[in-house]
Amino acid sequence: MHILYSHRVTDEHLTSEQQALVARLRAGAPLAMADDGAVGVGGGSRPRQHKNFTAAQDWVTAFFDKGAEEVLGYYADDFVWEDIEFMQTITTKEELYKAFVVFNNSGPDSPFGVHKFEVLTYDGGPAGESRGVRRKGGVPDEWKGELEADYNRFAGNIFLGADLDYDEWGYMQWIWKATHNEDFFGIPAAGKTTVTRGTTTQMYKNGKIVRCRTHWNFREFAIQLGVIPPPDEAWRANPGLAI
């Protein structure tokens, strides 16, 4: 996803105001950000509204439409963000800010490209009793030996954030159009437009995101950029797949 550009952002890329915000994040200072909006008429409290399709679309476009400062308010102080395809994990507001700020007021010539996301479906609701359940025990016997390092490499990311409590969950499916103005991580992409699909699973506590994991179809992405050949499409002759 677009968040992969975050590693390219250093303090030199930021304005003086943005550097000041990063300094406050590093110091752990609280930021004055909008809450979930659980305030009723006359200032009284009202029940917080559960997330829904509109909230999902708002989140997936906020990086480009609202700016990094406001987007930080969507996340709890303790959170985990993971892009599974690239095994990129973010756990601090500073790194999250750097991931978003490159898109502030980015026009069609932005070196980070132009991105458009559309949420197509959303599922979610209050968390049930069975949540945050993780496997017990150490490395299974069949993984020990030469595969143990691989097991730990993947299991470590899966277990990260498993102890963060949540009271609501959401699962969205989206499509992503990216117009590339530069090559993408060494892949020739400049001047090309790619489209692919993906999913994001989120867990919320008091309306804030505590876990956020995204999975997108890199294979489709790579095919469109000419990195790998397209597959045999004969299996698609299934009338049940017609839209």
- Rounded to two decimals, the pTM is 0.80
Contact 181, 190 (CB under 8 A): yes
In angstroms, the CA 190 to CA 24 distance is 36
Model pLDDT, residue 242: 65
3-class secondary structure per residue, 97-163? HHHHHCCCCCCCCCCCCEEEEEEEEEEEEECCCCCCCCCCCCCCHHHCCCCHHHHHHHHHHHHCCCC
Model pLDDT, residue 31: 65
Is 190 within a domain?
yes
Which tokens sit at 162?
Answer: 């498993």
Splitting the chain (243 residues) into consecutive groups of 10 residues, what average pLDDT does each group show?
56 68 71 46 57 94 84 94 92 89 79 90 93 90 96 94 95 95 89 96 97 95 93 74 63
Is 238 within a domain?
no
Is 111 within a domain?
yes
Q: Which domain holds residue 174?
A: 2-33+50-128+144-230
Contact 162, 134 (CB under 8 A): yes
Model pLDDT, residue 28: 74
The residue with tokens 């917080």 is 48
Is 240 within a domain?
no
Query: What's the pLDDT tens digit per position in 43-87?
Result: 444 566 899 999 999 998 887 888 888 889 999 999 999 999 988
Is 243 within a domain?
no
Model pLDDT, residue 93: 92
Model pLDDT, residue 41: 36
Is 207 within a domain?
yes
- Which domain CATH number covers 168? 3.10.450.50
In angstroms, the CA 160 to CA 25 distance is 21
Contact 48, 207 (CB under 8 A): yes
Which of 149, 157, 141, 150 has the alpha carbon at shortest distance from 90? 157
Is 236 within a domain?
no
Model pLDDT, residue 165: 94
Which of 65, 50, 171, 44 has the alpha carbon at shortest distance from 114? 65
Which of 116, 95, 79 has the alpha carbon at shortest distance from 6? 95
DSSP string for residues in 40-81: -GGG-B-PPPPP-HHHHHHHHHHHHHT-HHHHGGGEEEEEEE
Model pLDDT, residue 4: 54
Model pLDDT, residue 18: 67
Q: Is 8 exposed, middle or buried (0-12, 13-18, 19+ CB in 10 A)?
A: exposed
Total number of domains in the chain: 1
Model pLDDT, residue 243: 59
Contact 203, 211 (CB under 8 A): yes
Is 184 within a domain?
yes
